[in-house]
Amino acid sequence: MMENNQAIGIFDSGLGGLTVIRELLKALPNENIVYFGDTARVPYGNKSKKTISRFSIENADFLIKHKVKIIVVACNTSCSLSLNLLKKKYKVPVVGVIEPAVRKAVERSRGLRVGVIGTRGTIKSNVYNQALKRINKRIKIFSKSCPLFVPLIEEDWINDDITLNIGRRYLSELKKREIDTLILACTHYPLLMKAIRKIMGREVELINSAEEVAGHVKELLELSGGLRGAKQKGRCLFYVSDEPAQFVKVGGKFLGRKISCVRKV
């Protein structure tokens, strides 16, 4: 049994995890949330497994100090390389964004032709391919790393022509493969949903990992008796390792609402 008044803890390499909070606030508006964005060390996608594991443990340790009841690893790179390590290390449940997104992709794919886009670290880890094959060995998987997407988003160039042009270069290969479902294997990428849909066409199903993990967390809390009282209003605490002003400026686009207070740690 969980202590239901304790917060949900979330960490990410930067701002992307705010898309997970956005979905959690829809699914679980009564829950308290503690978020840590490692903005001093973003991006994670071009770093080694050893480095990612160290960063992930440090991030989780910070959340544990806030006595969270569950840890959500919102960074796909950390999930790919460190999730099992974190699950073994901590007593609280540790969940990632990969499995919920994979299950939804297999469910929605009509022709079993699934694309996966993410950082170099996520794609190189092959974790999405393995997870998809565990569910259905007949599935055809086409992966593509898109390393420029995260810095473009964090520079707030979401609607810029340069972002659309880079997106076309990245996604043209997947479009030729005639995929019917595309997993956005980075929590930053939902902000590019409009551009990605424009490039891929409306016939391709886009899987938002942030939305899927929010539903998974709700299910876990319901099963464990960890839901907070329905009459209580939840609150969010935001912490970053660098540039809180930039986090406030750009973070509101990820969260879908204004961020009023961020603390640097």
What tens digit of pLDDT does each residue of 28-73 get?
A: 999 999 999 999 998 887 888 899 999 999 999 999 999 999 999 9
Segment 203-223 mean pLDDT: 93
Give residue 1's pLDDT: 56
- String of DSSP letters for 211-256: HHHHHHHHHHHHHHT-PPPTTSPP-EEEEESS-HHHHHHHHHHHHT
Q: Name which residue leads in pLDDT, 170 or 246.
A: 170
Which contacts (CB < 8 Å, 24+ apart) does range 155-162 have? Answer: 156/249, 156/250, 156/253, 158/191, 158/192, 158/195, 158/253, 159/194, 159/195
Mean pLDDT value across the chain: 92
Does residue 75 carry a catalytic annotation? yes
Distance between CA atoms of residues 61 and 138, nearest Å: 40
Q: Which residues of 39-57 are buried (b: 16+ CB within 10 A; e: fewer)?
A: bebbbbbebeeeebbebbb
**Sorting pLDDT into bands at 50, 70 and 90, what band is 220?**
very high
Does residue 146 carry a catalytic annotation? no
Segment 129-142 mean pLDDT: 95
Segment 20-33 mean pLDDT: 93
Domains of the chain by start residue, with CATH: 8-96+211-264 (3.40.50.1860), 98-209 (3.40.50.1860)
Options 79, 146, 186, 236, the catalytic residue: 186
Distance between CA atoms of residues 142 and 18, nearest Å: 27
Give residue 89's pLDDT: 96
Mutual angle of helices 18-27 and 244-255, in 10-degree steps: 50
Q: Which residues of 212-223 are buried (b: 16+ CB within 10 A; e: fewer)?
A: bbbbbbbebbee
Instruction: Select from 147, 212, 150, 149 the least CA-distant residue to 181.
Output: 212
Beta bridge partners of 8: 33, 70
**What is this structure's pTM?**
0.88
**What value, to the nearest 5°, has the Cα angle with vertex 117 and ends 137 and 99?**
50
Give residue 85's pLDDT: 96
Options 75, 79, 146, 236, the catalytic residue: 75
Distance between CA atoms of residues 207 and 182, nearest Å: 6
pLDDT tens per residue across span 157-199? 888 999 999 999 999 999 999 999 999 998 889 999 999 999 9
